[in-house]
Amino acid sequence: MTARTIWIDGELVGWDEATVHVTSFGLHYGIGFFEGIRCHSTPDGPAIFRLTDHLRRLQRSAAVYGFDLPRPVEEMAHACKLVVSANGLTDCYLRPLVFLGDGANPFTARLRTVVIATANGPLTGPPKQDGVRARISSFQRMSPNSIPSAAKATGQYLNSFLAQTEALSCGYDEAIMLNDSGRVADGWAHNVFIVAGGALVTSPVGAGGLPGITRDSIMTLAAEAGVAVRVQDLVRSDLYLADECFLTGTSAGVVPVTSVDGRGIGAEKPGPLTVSLNDRLTEITHGIVDAYPQWREYVG
Ligand code: PMP
C-alpha cells in the first residue's frame, strides 16, 4: 500500500499537495526537528512502537533550540495514528517533522508540522541482519558545544551524511563516529553497542550520541535477561577486541557488526546476545508476547 495523504499543520492533504515554499528557513538553514518511528502489524492491529516516547524526544529536540512544539504531543500522536489508518498502512515508517517555515526572518518565522507515513522509510536498503562491515569515520562527531547531539535536528545530519557517504565510497556499509576526544560517539544513524566479558556496553550519550529509543529498549531487555549493562566510554580498540558489536536504530533495528576497519569482530557473524536481543525486541514490537504493553500504542 502506498501512502496517498500527509498530515500538515493539522489537516490531511493529498500527497502532491503537501508542498512548502522554497523560501522556508528550514530548507536554507537546516532548522528543524524530526523523528523516525515504526509501526508494526500485531495480532491486535497496527501498533506504533513507543510513539509517545518518540514524540517527547521531538519536544526535547525543539526545546534544545529554544522552541515549543507548535502542536501538543497528544495532537501529534493522533496525527501519527491518523496517517497510518487513513492510508490503510500496517507495517510502516512514520516521519514527524517540525521545521521553520517562511517569513520575514528566521527569528520570527513560524514552525510548520508534518507527519508522513511511508511503507519503508528513507534509509531502508537490503536487510542487514547477516551483519555489516563498519568503518571508523575520518569525520568527527559534532561536539556538544557546537551542535548538541541530544537533539534530533535536521541540520545535524550534515555530519552524519559526511561520515556515511565516506564509508560507502570506501566500500564499507556503516560509519561509526568518534568524538573530539577519540571516544566512540555514535553511528551516523545508530547507537553503538559491544559485548565484552559477557556484559553489554554502550557509550554515554554525553560522548555525542543521540539518546536512542531502540538503545533504551535494548538496555532494558538485556537487564531483564540478567545481562550486566554498562554505560562507559569506548575507544576504537574496544570495538576491535569486542566479542560482539551491533548498532541500533528505528530504521534498521538491531544490526550486527561483523568487522570494524577490516578487523573481524568475534566469530565474524551475528553474535548470540545480538541475535537473542533482536529476537526479543521483535516479538515485543510485533505483539507476539504480552510483555511491555506500554511500548505498543495501537492505531486502533
Ligand atoms: N543515533 C543517530 C545519529 C540517529 O540518527 C538515530 C536514529 N534516530 C539513532 C542514533 C537511533 O535512535 P532510535 O533508536 O531512537 O531510532
Best CA proximity match to 38, nearest among 239, 200, 288, 281: 281
What's the mean pLDDT in 44-61? 98
Residue 87: band (very low, low, confident or very high) from pLDDT cuts 50, 70, 90: very high
What's the mean pLDDT in 234-261? 97
What's the mean pLDDT in 134-150? 96
Catalytic residue flag (residue 81): no
Q: Which residues line ligand 1 (CB under 6 A)?
A: 36, 152, 160, 186-187, 189-191, 209-210, 212-215, 248-250
Grid cell, residue 231, equals 554505560
Half-sphere exposure at residue 175, Cβ-oriented, CA atoms within 13 angstroms:
22
Reply yes or no on whether the pLDDT at 100 is more than 70: yes
pLDDT score recorded for residue 124: 60
Å from CA of 103 to ligand 1 middle:
31
Every domain of the chain and the residues it spans: 5-118, 132-285
Give CA–CA dist 88/82, Å, rounded: 10
CA 266, 132, 250, 68: dihedral to nearest 10 degrees? Answer: 100
**pLDDT digit string (tens) for 192-244?**
999 999 999 999 999 999 999 999 999 999 999 999 999 999 999 999 999 99
Query: Whose C-alpha lies nearest to ligand 1, atom 11?
Result: 249
Per the prediction, the chain carries an average pLDDT of 96
What's the mean pLDDT in 107-118? 96
Å from CA of 264 to ligand 1 middle:
25
**Of 81, 128, 152, 269, which is the active-site residue?**
152
Counting ligand 1 atoms within 8 A of each CB, the residue from 53, 158, 250 with the most, and so the one to mutate, is 250
Best CA proximity match to 60, nearest among 142, 153, 146, 156: 153
pLDDT score recorded for residue 120: 83
Å from CA of 60 to ligand 1 middle:
14
Of 48-62, 121-135, 225-239, the poorest mean pLDDT is in 121-135
pLDDT score recorded for residue 273: 98
Give 21: exposed, middle or buried? Use CB within 10 Å, 0-12, 13-18, 19+.
Answer: exposed
> Taking the domain 5-118, which CATH number applies?
3.30.470.10
pLDDT score recorded for residue 129: 86
Reply yes or no on whether the pLDDT at 24 is more than 70: yes
Residues 6+ apart with CB under 8 A from 95: 34, 35, 36, 37, 114, 115, 116, 117, 118, 121, 122
CATH topology of domain 132-285: D-amino Acid Aminotransferase; Chain A, domain 2 (3.20.10)
